[in-house]
Amino acid sequence: MDSRIGLDYIVENRDYFAQLGAALDTQNATVKKQVFKLLSALCAYSAEGYARAI
């Protein structure tokens, strides 16, 4: 799968950012790492991804 398609989809759908934020409310360190990696990728991917992640 092309990761650009997935990143575009996440950037275009604001609901995903709320879900990512909610996913940080866990004691599972692996989940938190994955969420932060995804948010970092979104920040690097586009200015709009950065604005929504912040």
Boundaries of every domain in the chain:
3-53
What is the rounded CA–CA span in Å between residue 6 and residue 4? 5
- Whether residue 1 has pLDDT greater than 50: no
Q: Decide which of 2 and 45 is more confident.
A: 45
Predicted confidence at residue 4, as pLDDT, reads 84
CA 38 to mean position of chain CA atoms: 4
Compute the mean pLDDT over every residue in the chain, rounded to the nearest whole number: 89
Global pTM exceeds 0.85: no
User: Which whole number is the average pLDDT over 31-48?
Assistant: 93
DSSP letter at 14 equals T
